[in-house]
Homo-oligomer: A and B are copies of this chain.
């Protein structure tokens, strides 16, 4: 297959995105028009996305150049650190070598900025004046709000109401960057009003917020829509993570036996994993693990079929693992992993057995994240906590097998705006440790 020959800036930022499916000539089922059931006509998508992103969505180029202004923006925080978690290893008592790529080092605190900057720039180039999007926990909305500010585009965010009410810090951050933030379901769209008419105190969901953002985009002049995960071009932008990690590992003289990312829509997972899938296809013995919540077990218990990405069924039908577009996951703290579907590209790799999926119960993820926090200091996002739980499991298996393995996981973001979740965890743990009355 096509070799990975990326080039880097002198400081170590990749100058191109890595297109695994083109490199490995992997097949992907096309998106279908939700009305006709036929493959989606590109001009229909052009109502939602600028051409440059649609080209990236479908490109057969292997190394897609990072535009200059985006590379310049990356230079402020990339390459993100690759760190050995030696104290975490010690706390686990494992003989494995554990390394993590730290995307929480971005100014907005997560990997989402990698694609937000690329998307905002592509929109700016096409003269788009306004972008509408949805956000669940708020990581994506925060990233896009800053990226839009940077490229001088107005930003309209539909934030799932339960998060809007419970996470004022995220909302403040978006507003500080200049975005307009509405609780979804909102009065601003026909779909939102319909949902509210049915249930005025509806807590909202990602599927509903997507529907509202799309409606906003198609009904406002000069406005496009933007998505923070799932689609090919979003995953493509995130491959800067894995490319950097490969290079940083190489400098340490290491290559991983296991690569782990948490999985919600698929973008941070693909970002770290896809450049490594390449090596797996080349014959390297390598496990690649997607870690998801048991309460939203898309990859482990979903069906692999065409489904809608949103509740109002406005998005194209995508071939993916899905729990059904009307599935409403439990309100776990890892809001970024509460999505009924999965990226079609990640789904295809799971279906082919190139990627394993594992599901974790919430308490297990917080236990792992807590152990990590008290040893390494860094407090992980509840989403990233799933990758850490998978790391603990992989280390235990390696120790039992008597094989000290090298494990790499992606820390998609920090948890500083989710400390309430940690407080709830500590209380739950205390309650657990008390004997029954």
A60 within 8 A of B: no
What are the residues of chain B within 8 A of A168 when measuring CB–CB? Answer: 419-420, 423
What are the residues of chain B within 8 A of A178 when measuring CB–CB? Answer: 374
Contact assessment for A419 and B83 in the assembled complex, using a CB-CB cutoff below 8 Å: no
Distance in angstroms from A153 CB to nearest chain B CB is 13
Residue from B113, B172, B370, B417 within 8 A of A422 (CB atoms): B172
- With A176-B370, A370-B176 as known contacts, state yes or no: A76 contacts B379, CB within 8 Å: no
Oligomeric state, in copies: 2
Contact assessment for A417 and B420 in the assembled complex, using a CB-CB cutoff below 8 Å: no
- With A172-B420, A419-B169, A423-B172 as known contacts, state yes or no: A177 contacts B76, CB within 8 Å: no
**Alpha-carbon distance A108/B374, docked complex (angstroms):** 11
Distance in angstroms from A325 CB to nearest chain B CB is 33
| Cβ < 8 Å to B, chain A residues 135-173 | 146, 149-150, 168-169, 172-173
- With A169-B416, A416-B169 as known contacts, state yes or no: A378 contacts B176, CB within 8 Å: no
Contact assessment for B426 and A76 in the assembled complex, using a CB-CB cutoff below 8 Å: no
A52 within 8 A of B: no
- How many of chain A's residues touch chain B, expressed as a range? 35 or more
Distance in angstroms from A435 CB to nearest chain B CB is 22
Contact assessment for B416 and A107 in the assembled complex, using a CB-CB cutoff below 8 Å: no
**Alpha-carbon distance A92/B314, docked complex (angstroms):** 43
**Alpha-carbon distance A76/B84, docked complex (angstroms):** 9
What are the residues of chain B within 8 A of A146 when measuring CB–CB? Answer: 374, 377
Residue from B106, B113, B177 within 8 A of A374 (CB atoms): B177
**Alpha-carbon distance A66/B83, docked complex (angstroms):** 22
User: Closest chain B residue to A143 by CB distance?
Assistant: B377
What are the residues of chain B within 8 A of A77 when measuring CB–CB? Answer: 377
What are the residues of chain B within 8 A of A417 when measuring CB–CB? Answer: 416, 419
Residue from B113, B175, B374 within 8 A of A176 (CB atoms): B374
| A→B interface (CB under 8 Å) | 76-77, 83, 87, 105-109, 113, 146, 149-150, 168-169, 172-173, 175-178, 370, 373-374, 376-379, 416-417, 419-420, 422-423, 426
Interface contacts beyond A87-B150, A107-B377, A149-B374: sample of 5 additional A-B pairs, CB < 8 Å, sorted by A: A106-B377, A108-B377, A172-B419, A176-B419, A416-B416
13 contacts between A and B (CB under 8 A): A76-B376, A76-B377, A87-B150, A109-B416, A146-B377, A149-B374, A168-B420, A172-B426, A173-B379, A175-B423, A176-B373, A176-B379, A176-B426
